[in-house]
Every structure is written in C-alpha cells, then in structure tokens.
Structure 1
Amino acid sequence: MIRVKAEQLAAARGCVLGLMLGDAIGATGGNVPVSGTLRATSAGQLACFTVDGLIRTHVRMTHKGVCPPPISVWHAYMRWAAMQGISGIEPWSQEDWPDGWLATVPVLAERRGSAPATVAALKGKTAGTLDKPVGTSIGAHGLTRSLPAGLCAWWPSSENFGAEISALTHTGAAVDAAALGSTLIRLLGEGKPLAEAMERARRDSLGRSVHTGDSLLGPALEAARSKPRQAVELARLAGDAKATSALAGGVYVAMSFAMRYEIRDALAFAASVGDGRHAATVAGALLGAAHGPDALPVDWLSRLELAWVADTLARDLVREVTERPSGSGYGDATDAHWWDRYPGW
C-alpha cells in the first residue's frame, strides 16, 4: 500500500473543494450573495464524476488487474447524463444503474447549464482518445473537469491522465490545456510551491505539442509578474470560454493572489471579469491544492452546495489508493460497503 502524507491529503481536499468553490463563485459573476446556497454548475457536477471515475479505476485495477483509466471516467459521465435525464443515453445495466453513491445525490441530477461537447460524445457512444479524438470542441469543460486527474500520481501514465480524460470528448488545444492543468495539480500535490510548480510545468512541457507550456503559461505568468490584479489583463487572457483561456486566466489569478489568505479576493476577482467563471474554477483548484482546504473561506464553504460531496470524494480517492477498502485478490475488504459505493465492474 502507498503511504500518504498529511500534506498530500490536504492537497487533494483543497483541489476538489477549491475547484467546486471556484465553480460556484464563478457562476455568480462576481456578485456573491451575502446569504443562501452557492450552487454548482455542470462543470462542477462533471468534476465530481471525474473523481468518482478515478476511484473506480483504482478499484477495478485492484480487483481485476487491468483498467484503461479513461474508461471508468467515461462511464462516470454516462451516469451523470443518465441522472440528468438526457435522451439517447443507454443504461449500462438494466438493474441498479446508475449505481454508486453519487447516484443518490439530488443536486447532481439537476440541470445546471449545458455541456454540449460532453453530451454529444456520450450520445455518439464513442469515447475519444489522444490518437482518435471525437468532435471539435476546445471548450473549458475539457480542462476544468480533468484537473482532478493530477491527484493520481500513482498511475504509471499520470502525466497524460488529464489529457486522456479531456480527449474523451474534446480535442486539440483543450487536451493540451488539460495536460498542463493536471500537471500543475500533480506538482502542487507533491508539495511544490505555487511559483515553482508553474515554472516546472512550463519547462517540462516544452516541445510536447503545438500548444506548449511556454505559449499557454508564459503570457499568464509574465502578466502576473508585470501587471497583477488588473481586470483588463484577465479579460485579455480569459476573453472566451476556451480551455486555453480558462487555464491562462486561472494561472494569472492564482499568481496574482498567491498567498493563502487571498483566495477569497482571487475568486471574486476572477468571477467579476467577462468569461472569468472558468478562470475562477481553475484558480480555485490551483490555490486549494497549493494551500489546502483550511485556507478556503469558511463562510463560503459552509454555503457551498456540494461541499460535503466534494470533500468526501477527495478523502475517498486518497483512502482508496492508500487503504484499498474493498480488498483485493490478496486481502479482505476492510469496508464491507466500499464496493457498493464505488463498483469496480
């Protein structure tokens, strides 16, 4: 079994909670209500199912010895679509499907905005791959929902994990942005300081694709150094709903508000500018992974609709990798209900 440090658990919890908080604050357009529930969007819902799929990947691998990682995530998105009542989604099983505990969360069954590229791919019944993409979308969902893949450093091909998940439904620059974004999360999870993780990700990605880390991260990092916290700069970097814009905007915001006590200001700033809602989601994941859940604004977290769901998923991801609660061919289950929570079929 893998031993986990307290810092790694904090990074996982901070990443998922920060992503969900950024998603909810981004949806307010910067006008955060003084009371009431902070609601998730379809991006936050899909991120929850990404983590569920990651857990099931490890469960299946433990019990059956093989599991192409993106397949479990693909099936997780199918369950999301089925819960949403989206037509054209065929059940995987005639009984007890959608399965797992996420299927019992009412909020995840509510329509919270569109996810056209994801829905189109699911209806087409063909999962894209890095070599054979489906569709033409380079939208932000290809990045935001893939960020938790960076928490899976245990997987041999973890550097491509985020890209593979993005490629299920997106293509091109969105996949490149997902690769970089999940790499940043991985580096932060390993304990790298925020600035060091940024430079390392930029340097390590040089030459890997047309959209290198230098072209995606370079302008955002330079803007954060020379012109931090300026709405006009964020609007320039994140001027549309593309994945590359979401990554550039999220990096700019995170580096402009890099201290742990500045997360509230970071998310409010991102949400207030143009298409900054996706940048807020990325910034929340990055800052949460860098500083841990205790740095996130408690008053906002207490109103976050999916806070308990997000935190449970993050904890369960770490627990699955370190404890294997459902057992394996070489050991008995320590949690009799784990397989029902995360079936590894």
Structure 2
Amino acid sequence: MSRSTVRQLGAVRGCLLGLMLGDAVGATAGAVPPSGTLPATSAGQLACFTVDGIIRASVRGTLRGICHPPSVVRHAYTRWAVMQGIPGVQRWQDEDWPDGWLAQVPVLAVRRGSAPATVAALQRLGMGAPDNPAGTSTGAHGLTRSLPAGLVESWSAGVGDLAAQIAATTHATEAVHAAALGATIIAHLLRGAGIDAAVTHAQQQCASHLPGAAALPLAPAHSDPLGAAALPLASALAAARSAPAQRDELARLAPDARALSALAGAIYVVSSFPEPARIREALLFAASAGDGGHVATAAGAFLGAAYGVDALPVDWLSRLELVWVADTLARDLVSEFVDHPAGSGYGTAPDPQWIIRYPGW
C-alpha cells in the first residue's frame, strides 16, 4: 500500500468513525455516560448503508460497465427499511434478500429513532433527482447520511453531484444543496485543506451546478420569507473567529433540525476547535445544539476527515456500538476503489467473496 493510500485510509476511517461517534455522542445531548455502549441512531445506520451502496455501485460499474449510483444507494436504504420491519416498503425480491453482509448485522435491524422523510420516500417508490427531488423534507438526515459521498473524491469526480443525487431520492432542494456542500467540504478536508478553505471551495464548486447553494438560508423556516435574516455559510466561519465556542452562537446558527442548520453548526464547531486534541470537547459542545444530535454527527465527520482516525478519543470509540461495522466499511471502501477485489469481469476475481459481500445492485 502506497503512502498516499495509507493517508487516505486514515482519513476515510477518521471521517466515517467520526460521523458515527458524533451521532452517538449527539444522541446523549452532551451527557455521555461514564460507561456502557454508545448506541447509534437511525442517522448512523443510514450512513452505513450509504457506504455499502457506494461500494456496490462501484462493483456494478466495474463488472457491467454501466451503473446509476443513486439507484444503488436507494436500494441500500430499502434493505435498511426492510431489516427494520418498516411497513409499506416493497421488497426487491422474495428470496435471499436483503443480501450482502450488512444484512447479517443484528444491531442494524434495531429501531433507533425515526427517519420519516427517508421512509416516506421509500414507500412512494419514486427516485427523485436534484432538479426534481422526491421529498419535501429539509431535515438533517438528507445531509448526514449523504456525507460519505465525499470520501470517494480521490477516485471519482463530482462528489457534490453524487451527494446531491443521493439526498434527492428522499429530501427537498434545501437539503439536497446542504448534502452537496457537506460532501464537497469532506473532500477538501481529506486533501488537507483547513475548514475555512474547504467551505469556500465547496461553495464555489457547488454554486456552479446547484444554483443558490452558495447563499442558502441558514435562518429558521419561519424567518423573513424574503431572506433578510438569511446567513451564508461564511457567517459560521466569521462567528467562530469572533466568538468561538459560544452556545448562543451555536443556537443562532443551528436553530432547528434542518440539514442547513446542521451544516452551519458543524462548520462553526470545527472552526471553533481547530486543534485535534480538542475533538472530545468539540463533540460535547456540538451535542449541546439541541437539534437532535445532527450538528454533532456532521461535526464528527468533518473532524475525523480533517485529523484522521488516530485523533478520535479511543475510550469513546471502544464503546461505540457500530465501531467495527463502520471501520470495516471504511476499509472496504478504500479497498474497492484501490484494489477492485471483485475484479473486472475477466479472469478470476482477486477476492471471490467480494461480490457476495457487496452484490452489484
């Protein structure tokens, strides 16, 4: 494995484990118990299935030469819903389904809070696209579960587009824009950019294909409909410079459970705690946002991408319910794009079990 791949692996693992850690810490509202398991929420579960879907999409594209990744990721969410016993979600086939290794992880079948916009979209069957999203929700799940799209930037151009397409299968335009911005920020953090540069570049890139994404509203939905009270993402950075780690500033930037609130709050948190030694403190602060833990989930992903897996608190990771699942997914994601274990369809596959773990659909 090359040095660059080793660095990528550390950052990819850090991002996904940081997301899961933020999800679990956020669920405690900052009151992390001194012992015991730190369970995931539905947001963490769905993020796992996003990674699974991205790997499967790559397998399908490599073996068949054609693939629509958002459809494959949506299929992953369908497997999650069926495992959860959610009614009204159509099975893709009667036998040997859900397939793949995630279907064998019992904790992913345990209900850990609701994901109403995702479930409603899966029950409706429609796909959706960035210019015609399938849902009406602006909720934070559209952001948090799409963030792993930013992890494949080294091997696949257009991670903002991919995240937008994934979010559009279930959520409305505002959440679609937030997903594109969030994944693009992840991509820049993985390259070594600071949070200020990552946000600036993400706004520039996303504005070119998502009109209005660079100046989306970050005020509550009941604010001035003309947008007079709206704040661009740069306001989160400015607030961190002038008044870092202030709860009233966090409450102003992340007043509710919308995707854009979670994104703004996470940017403020990461910029307020610029040292890797303060990740624990940053996640506890993010969890105090009062938005259901979404700020902490996004902040954990950003912090892990920026500083790598070794910067995450080991004592918390050792108690994290999905730590093995998330770490396996992160390693497999890198392996898929670097080594292509399923092969190319010609000759013997390097890993004959890979297509069983990640069927290409």
TM-score, normalisation: structure 2: 0.92
Q: For the residues of structure 1 that align with 2:215 and 2:165, how far apart are their CA atoms?
A: 17
Q: Residues 34-183 of structure 1 correspond to what in structure 2 (within 5 A)?
A: 34-153=34-153, 154-183=155-184
Contact 1:246 1:276 in 2 (8 A): no
Q: What are the within-5 Å matches in structure 2 for residues 1-345 of structure 1?
A: 5-153=5-153, 154-206=155-207, 208-212=210-214, 215-275=231-291, 277-345=293-361
- The one-letter amino acid of 2:257's match is A
Question: One-letter code of the match for 1:74?
Answer: R
CA contact (8 A) 1:7 1:191 kept: no
Deviates more, 1:206-215 or 1:136-145: 206-215
TM-superposed deviation, 1:336 = 1.8
* Distance (whole Å) between structure 1 residues aligned to residue 297 and residue 340 of structure 2: 30
Shift of 1:12: 0.7
C-alpha distance in 2 between matches for 1:21 and 1:64: 36
1:230-271 CA-to-partner distances (Å, cap 9, x unmatched) read 000001111100000000001100110121111000000111
Match of 1:33, SS state, is coil
Structure 2 CA distance, aligned partners of 1:67 and 1:194?
33
Q: Secondary structure, in 3 states, of the residue corresponding to 1:240?
A: coil
Give the partner amino acid of 2:197: E
TM-score scaled by length of structure 1? 0.96
Measure, in 1, the Cα distance between the counterparts of 2:74 and 2:232.
27
Give the aligned residue type for 1:209: P
- Deviation of 1:4 after TM superposition, in Å, equals 5.1
Provide, for residues 32-79 of structure 1, a one-character-per-residue CA deviation record: whole Å limited to 9, x for no partner: 000000010000000000000000010000100011110110000000
- Cα distance in 2 for partners of 1:213, 1:329 equals 45
Go from structure 1 to structure 2 and tell me whether the alpha carbon gap of 1:342 and 1:185 turns closer, same or farther (over 3 Å shift). same
Distance 2:128 2:206 in 1: 22
Distance of 2:266 and 2:195 partners within structure 1: 13
Percent identity, aligned pairs only? 62
2:224 alignment counterpart: none
CA offsets 1:209-240 (integer angstroms, 9 cap, x no match): 22415854111111111110000000111110
Number of equivalences: 345
Cα separation, 1, equivalents of 2:352 and 2:3: 22
- The 1:206–1:287 alpha-carbon spacing in structure 2 relative to 1, beyond 3 Å, is same
Residue 264 of structure 2: SS of its match in structure 1?
helix
In the alignment, is the contact (CA less than 8 A) between 2:27 and 2:292 conserved in 1?
Answer: no
Distance, in Å, in 2 between the alignment partners of 1:127 and 1:290 is: 33
After the TM superposition, which segments of 4 or more aligned residues of structure 1 sit over 6 Å from their partners? none
Q: Which runs of 5+ in 1 are unaligned?
A: none
Tell me the amino acid that sits aligned with residue 85 of structure 1. G
Q: Which amino acid is the alignment partner of residue 106 of structure 1?
A: P
1:284-332 Cα offsets, whole Å, 9 max, x none, are 0000000001000000000000000001001000000111111112342
| Stretch moving more, 165-174 or 89-98 | 89-98
Shift of the alpha carbon at 1:27?
A: 0.1
Where do 5+ consecutive residues of structure 2 fail to align?
A: 217-230
Quote the Cα distance in structure 1 between the aligned partners of 2:10 and 2:333: 12
Quickly say closer, same or farther: Cα 1:240–1:254, change in 2 above 3 A: same
- Rounded Cα–Cα distance in structure 2 between residues aligned with 1:330 and 1:262: 49
Give the C-alpha shift of residue 94 in structure 1.
1.6
Structure 1 equivalent of residue 221 of structure 2:
none
Q: Kindly state the Cα deviation for residue 279 of structure 1 after the two structures are TM-superposed.
A: 0.5
Aligned 8 A contact 2:57 2:67 in 1 = yes
Residue 132 of structure 1, CA deviation: 2.0
SS at the partner of 2:112?
coil
Give the whole-Å Cα distance in 2 for the aligned partners of 1:211 and 1:192: 20
Mapped partners of 1:131, 1:205: distance in 2:
14
Distance in 1, Cα, partners of 2:183 & 2:170: 17
CA drift at 1:3: 9.3
User: Quick one: which amino acid aligns to residue 237 of structure 1?
Assistant: L
CA contact 1:202–1:218 (8 Å) conserved in 2: no
- Structure-2 separation of matches of 1:276 and 1:257: 21
The 2-side partners of 1:283 and 1:293 are apart by: 14
In structure 2, what is the Cα distance between the partners aligned to 1:287 and 1:248? 14
